[in-house]
Amino acid sequence: MKRILSYVALFLSTSVALTSCSTDDNNNQEVKEVLVGKNDVTFTFNHKMFGEELKYNTLNKANGNNEQLNVTFLKYIISNFQLTDDKGGVYTYPKDKGYFFVDSESNDFKVTLKDVPAGYYTKVKFGVGVDQEKYLRGVDDQQEFWDLCKKHDLTWGWLTGYKFINYQGTFINGTEEEAGFQLHIGSHGSKLDNYKENILVSKEEIKVSDKYSPLVDLNVEVSLLLDSTDKIVLKERPYIMVDAVRAPKIMTNATTMFSVGKVTTKQGL
Amino acid sequence: MKKLFTLFVGTLLLFSCSSDEYVDLPDVDEDDIKWEKPSNFPDQTYTFNNNALKKSRFELGKKLFHDPRLSEDNTISCSSCHIKEFAFSDAGKSFSIGIDGLVGKRNAPAIQNMAFNNEYFYDGASNNLEMVPIVPIHNEIEMREELPTILDKLRLDIEYQQMFKKAYNDEKMTSTSMLKALAQYMTLLVSSNSKYDKYVRKEEGGNLNELEKKGLVLFRQNCSSCHSTDLFTDNSFRNNGVRVNPSVNDKGREDVSGEEEDRYKFKVSTVRNVALTAPYMHDGSIATLEDVLDFYSSGIKDSPTLDPLLRQKNGRVGIPMTSEEKKAIIAFLHTLTDYDFINNPKY
């Protein structure tokens, strides 16, 4: 307990130092607690629709395409995490463990990176989908993940590829009748690689050490999937499976959905 | 530890010796199979990474290939539609019969020389040989089964338990090992001993008669832009002008790429063993080789994505051939039948 208190004191003094100094960064870093060891980093996916918690089977307000969506299913694949620390050092999560699916139905879906080396991380990078390199490595590398994705309807039956995003529900365009929509987005064989990555900046440092195992909130603004960099009007095509024009746009939109929210550093001894 | 030391010394030897001496290193494992590329073939594309050729793996793959437990109701195996005597195609059927008697929508292609290919199926649905079996297994009208369920069935079989252990030291019996073994079986289905092969390699039994030789020349002039190299395919996707069956409306490559430019394009099939693999085309719509050549000379249906190579300078479509020329080409095509392949007891 005494030890913890001393850490708290150290942390507080570091914070004070951080806020009081403004010009010389190097001095600040010297005051920072030296972090050693490794620990888990857990991301909690908070899915939102226009800033509110995403609820299935609920009609949302109209998006910029004048379409109201009622979501019944949204799962997707994320992969290839990279964390960048305050000194610019990059930690790449091992590829053989680096593929995850995310289910938006429960609002606290968690993805845990194991044994991340100590550091003050400020940037999080990951991909949406599965890169070709992994795919071409053969079954060695991916069989368990394939089976998992198959179970969650994130694989194509007639194509040996992953659905990076599977998004389903109904929509109302303007005053028209409600109709179904279904988006299965992935890479198109060898022809079109739709895997895309993004880099998120965390306002708070993600502190990892043998004593600190942070919880990171990842906010996912689902409305951006169809209404972001590119506008995807469902009325024009409500069933998007293998679409060389729309699929890459939806993937680009997908990379804009994520932002880092609150970082909670719990003591994980 | 001793093993590790041997391996270490072996590695040192590898670095210190020239490549000639490497061949003389004693065979450490009787289970190993040496990959032999036919001298008239281009390089293989399958890398054998983490799946070095072993007899035990081939045998496991062979057993799996012939095992109906890979289907939901234990009635359909890979070999149900890929029959050795027909160069692993489906015995004269246009469309194969899958689970519950359901009929497929594409002609079962011959399985041969898969290690030299890098995209599979008529539309390129897979670019990884180890993932290929997933397509028919998952397909609702072919085998309609799930990988974990298959393994649950196989785990009850003591013979499989031993074979997985021997092949991949895999006592858990994972689908990874299953798919690797199937890939290994397919890579060793190499057809390279037809009369034509012996002719180009100047081996015994490689005598082509005059008609066959004339056919070979005509084939090289008229057909080898697409049916190229001694694999007899350039592995590309093309629209060769087969009439669209309206009840299926199979869009081919577009299904995978999502691009209109790929509409009605299908993988160029090899013409190896072509005399054994009737009926022809992705939909099995053409019954005989004579009909195939008549189709290419006068039956091609024009459409926006028709392959440019099938357009003549005068604006007409097709490949002009006289009936004499067709006879010669067909005589040549018969020299591509590989009896060693279809009679090989190993398969």
pLDDT band per the 50, 70, 90 thresholds, residue A156 = confident
pLDDT at res. A19: 47
Tokens for A106, please give them: 């429960």
> Do residues B215 and B280 share a domain?
yes
Return the bridge partners of A171, or none: A69, A179
The reply to whether B158 falls in a domain is yes
Of the partner residues A143, A150, A242, the one whose CB lies closest to the CB of residue B146:
A150
The reply to whether B20 falls in a domain is no
pLDDT at res. B164: 97
Q: Is B17 annotated as a binding residue?
A: no
The reply to whether B3 falls in a domain is no
> Do residues B326 and B219 share a domain?
yes
Interchain contact, A191 vs B259, CB within 8 Å: yes
Task: Tell which of B50, B106, B118, B130 to mutate to test the A interface (max A CBs under 10 Å).
Answer: B130
The reply to whether A7 falls in a domain is no
The reply to whether A45 falls in a domain is yes
pLDDT at res. A134: 81
> Do residues B199 and B166 share a domain?
no
What's the average model confidence in pLDDT over A216-225? 97
Residues of A in contact with B72 (CB under 8 A): none
Of the partner residues A144, A157, A243, the one whose CB lies closest to the CB of residue B139:
A157
What's the average model confidence in pLDDT over B226-252? 95
What's the average model confidence in pLDDT over B149-159? 97
Share of chain B above pLDDT 90, in %: 88
> Do residues B114 and B149 share a domain?
yes
Of the partner residues B49, B123, B253, the one whose CB lies closest to the CB of residue A138:
B49
Interchain contact, A189 vs B257, CB within 8 Å: yes
pLDDT band per the 50, 70, 90 thresholds, residue B193 = very high
Of the partner residues A138, A155, A247, the one whose CB lies closest to the CB of residue B258:
A247
Backbone angles phi, psi at A70, to 5 degrees: -120, 105
Of the partner residues B124, B130, B180, the one whose CB lies closest to the CB of residue A190:
B124
- Dihedral sign for Cα atoms in the order B172, B175, B176, B181: positive
pLDDT band per the 50, 70, 90 thresholds, residue B14 = very low
Residue B65's H or E segment, with its range, is helix B55-65
> How far is it, in rounded angstroms, from Cα B135 to Cα B98?
13
pLDDT digits (tens, 9 = 90+) for B264-291: 999 999 999 999 999 999 999 999 999 9
What's the average model confidence in pLDDT over A143-148? 84
Q: Which of B188, B218, B233 delimits the end of a domain? A: B188
Under 8 Å CB pairs connecting chains A and B tally to 99
pLDDT of B252 over the 70 cut: yes
According to the per-residue pLDDT averaged within each range, which of A31-35, B129-133, B156-160 is highest?
B156-160
Arithmetic mean of pLDDT over chain A: 88
> Distance (Å) from the C-alpha of residue B44 to the closest C-alpha of chain A?
15
pLDDT band per the 50, 70, 90 thresholds, residue A221 = very high
pLDDT of B340 over the 70 cut: yes
Residues of A in contact with B174 (CB under 8 A): 143
Given a contact cutoff of 8 angstroms between Cβ atoms, the answer to whether A91 and A80 are in contact is no
pLDDT digits (tens, 9 = 90+) for B27-72: 567 899 999 999 999 999 998 988 999 999 999 999 999 999 999 9
pLDDT digits (tens, 9 = 90+) for A228-242: 999 999 999 999 998
Q: Which of B139, B162, B188 delimits the end of a domain? A: B188
Tokens for A171, please give them: 């929509």
> Do residues B309 and B200 share a domain?
yes
What's the average model confidence in pLDDT over B172-197? 96
Tokens for B80, please give them: 């149900």
Interchain contact A150–B (C-beta under 8 A): yes
pLDDT of A147 over the 90 cut: no
pLDDT band per the 50, 70, 90 thresholds, residue A136 = confident
> Do residues B176 and B255 share a domain?
no
The reply to whether B250 falls in a domain is yes
Closest CA to A188 of A125, A232, A228, A246: A246
| B214 Ramachandran zone, left/alpha/beta (phi>0; psi -120 to 50) | alpha
> How far is it, in rounded angstroms, from Cα B122 to Cα B265?
8
Distances A96 to A100, B96, B183 between C-alpha atoms, Å: 11, 38, 21
What's the average model confidence in pLDDT over B135-150? 94
pLDDT at res. B342: 97
CATH code assigned at B167: 1.10.760.10
The reply to whether B34 falls in a domain is no
pLDDT of A20 over the 60 cut: no
The reply to whether A2 falls in a domain is no
pLDDT of A142 over the 60 cut: yes
> Do residues B127 and B109 share a domain?
yes
Interchain contact, B125 vs A189, CB within 8 Å: yes
Domain, as residue range, for B79:
55-188
Interchain contact, A192 vs B257, CB within 8 Å: yes
pLDDT at res. A108: 86
Q: Is B82 annotated as a binding residue?
A: yes
User: How many structural domains comprise chain B?
Assistant: 2
User: How many structural domains comprise chain A?
Assistant: 1
Q: Is B334 annotated as a binding residue?
A: no
Residues of A in contact with B255 (CB under 8 A): 158-159, 242
pLDDT of A13 over the 70 cut: no
Task: Tell which of B176, B261, B266 to mutate to test the A interface (max A CBs under 10 Å).
Answer: B176
Interchain contact, A147 vs B147, CB within 8 Å: yes
The reply to whether A105 falls in a domain is yes
- Whose tokens are 């997985």? That residue is B164
pLDDT band per the 50, 70, 90 thresholds, residue A143 = confident
Domain, as residue range, for A77:
38-267
pLDDT at res. B80: 96
Higher pLDDT, B7 or B228: B228
In SS3 terms, A89-139 reads as CEEECCHHHCEEEEECCCCCEEEEEEEEECEEEEEEEEEECCCHHHHHCCH
Arithmetic mean of pLDDT over chain B: 92
pLDDT band per the 50, 70, 90 thresholds, residue A3 = low
Higher pLDDT, A136 or A66: A66
Q: Which of B133, B164, B188 delimits the end of a domain? A: B188
The reply to whether B47 falls in a domain is no
pLDDT at res. B6: 46
The reply to whether B200 falls in a domain is yes
Share of chain A above pLDDT 70, in %: 87
> Do residues B176 and B224 share a domain?
no
Q: Is B138 annotated as a binding residue?
A: no
